[in-house]
Amino acid sequence: MAIEGYNLHAWYYELSHASFTEDIDFYKTKLDPPPQTILELGCGSGRVLLPLAEQGHACWGLDNAREMLDLARKKIERLTGNLQVTLIQGDMANFNLGRTFDTIIIPHNTFMHLNSVEWRPCLRAVRRHLAPTGRLLIDLINPYQLLALEDQPTPQIEATFIDPRDQQEVVQSASYSLHEEGMAFHLNWLFEKKGEKTAEISAIYTVRLPHQLQLGLKQTGFQLIKMGGNYDGDDFVEASERLILEATRSDR
Ligand SMILES: C[S@@+](CC[C@H](N)C(=O)[O-])C[C@H]1O[C@@H](n2cnc3c(N)ncnc32)[C@H](O)[C@@H]1O
């Protein structure tokens, strides 16, 4: 499902996530030494993909938001070295790149953007694109943390940062609520300058519990080899910060 906010406000997404780098080292430690072939689904502006390409991996990124990909292209132009990056505009629930990859990653909650009709087709497509000994990594918000949240209907300030285009302060606020008996988390980000709204990103995150994800992986040809709870590699427990799935092909 296309999320219009990412297209309209790619710039604000990029600015608000510029300082979030914790997960990048996690992927670097999970990957075998370069050169590996990597596919990132929902690569956005290349926040994760480009540092991996800088390590010498051959990186492919797929995203359905043209403006996020345009930002990634601009960043690539500014990078030095002979980076191998291929960017494709497409739907992660329905793609065919005609090749396989050593590692496929779906970072930073992106898999939660897929609804109940889309998530299994996405996994099937991943399975077709994964090399026989390849690995899939999916990083999600811990669903139990989402279910424990009280609705926040009034936007609350989450962060402030400077827009380098005009040096003005941007105030980012968030409101959120759970719907569909707790299975859909609706998040709205509001960006304001001097009290005036300049952008808004609305997204729905589908909440899936560990056993549902495990079953979905099994039914689409994967074997779950680890459920991590953070970027340090600790196992998942109900109080974990993250839910990080690591899977291989079940026929390996
Ligand atoms: C939370 S952002 C993550 C971006 C990037 N992976 C990162 O970690 O910074 C989610 C990205 O997924 C993309 N996206 C959402 N649904 C998609 C779909 N069905 N197919 C392809 N991309 C999708 C959005 O356009 C957005 O760039």
Q: How far is the CA of 63 from the centre of ligand 1 (A)?
A: 6
Pocket test for ligand 1, best of 38, 60, 64 (most atoms within 8 A of CB): 64
Q: Are 192 and 173 in contact (CB under 8 A)?
A: yes
Q: What is the tally of helices (H) and strands (E) in the chain?
A: 8, 11
Q: How far apart are CA 219 and CA 250, in angstroms?
A: 10
Is this structure's pTM higher than 0.85? yes
Q: Which DSSP string do the residues of 33-51 spell out, in sequence order?
A: SSS-EEEEET-TTSTTHHH
Inter-axis angle of helices 10-17 and 66-78, nearest 10: 50
Task: Write out pLDDT tens, residues 68-97.
Answer: 999 999 999 999 888 999 999 999 999 999
Residues framing ligand 1 (Cβ under 6 A): 1, 3, 6, 17, 42-44, 47-48, 63-65, 68, 91-93, 107-110, 113
Nearest CA, atom 8, ligand 1: 108
pLDDT tens across the length of the chain (252 residues): 446 677 778 889 888 998 899 999 999 999 999 999 999 999 999 999 999 999 999 999 999 999 999 999 999 999 988 899 999 999 999 999 999 999 999 999 999 999 999 999 999 999 999 999 999 999 999 999 999 999 999 999 999 999 998 999 999 999 999 999 889 999 999 999 999 999 999 999 999 999 999 999 999 999 999 999 999 999 999 999 999 999 999 998
Pocket test for ligand 1, best of 14, 15, 39, 63 (most atoms within 8 A of CB): 63
